[in-house]
Amino acid sequence: MTIRYGCFFSYAHGQHAYMSKFKNDLVDALRCYLEPHLDTEKELFVDSEQLGGGDDLDQKIAHAMCESVCMIVIYTPKYEAHAYTRREFAAMQQLEAERRNWYPLPSHLIIPVIMTRHPLSLPPQISEPGFYVDFSRYTLATGDLKTNPDFLPDIDKIVQRIVAHYHFLKYSIPPEHDCNRFVLPPIPPEWRPAPPPHFPR
């Protein structure tokens, strides 16, 4: 196994400006501040940039996740509603369980970034691991994340967490480990029970 990416980006795709701009702004900011810490690795794997139409998507995604140090989750209610993003989440949990045997994990490999909160509550998969960054105050008027002093402390927290794992992982990978053997798990169940049916009177 060779590290190829500082972080795998897991997110639900959006069609309109709010979701796409937030993703692009976060990508730009993390690339900017991760670059000085990495050697020849790319800062991020973002599927919209690095997957072609003829690719075996499951295989490419599994390979990229295995070759990534951590995973950024852009959490929105749409994220937990999509089976494929829940599957990526479960896949990184599997990788974390494996890497726990390689080095003392300084934190979880999954870094949730809250873009939009669920009207009921955050699911435990996002809130319980002990570290998430709340960017729900972001709007289309926010401007550039990489120069915005309101968001820079949280950007730095994310970067430092990735960098800590990067230096541990770099010297801990078993020589026989092969990312070609890693496959995505089955689609996991929904994260919260379905609400009871409502029958208007």
Q: How many CA atoms lie within 13 A of 24 on its CB side?
A: 13
pTM, two decimal places: 0.91
Q: How many CA atoms lie within 13 A of 60 on its CB side?
A: 13
* Residues sharing a CB contact under 8 Å with residue 49, sequence separation 6 or more, in sequence order: none
| pLDDT tens readout for residues 12-49 | 998 899 999 999 999 999 999 999 999 999 999 998 76
CA-based nearest residue to 120, from 75, 77, 74, 73:
77
- The whole-number pLDDT of residue 199 equals 47
| pLDDT tens readout for residues 127-140 | 887 789 999 999 99
Class of domain 5-180: alpha beta
Range 146-172 average pLDDT: 96
- The whole-number pLDDT of residue 191 equals 92
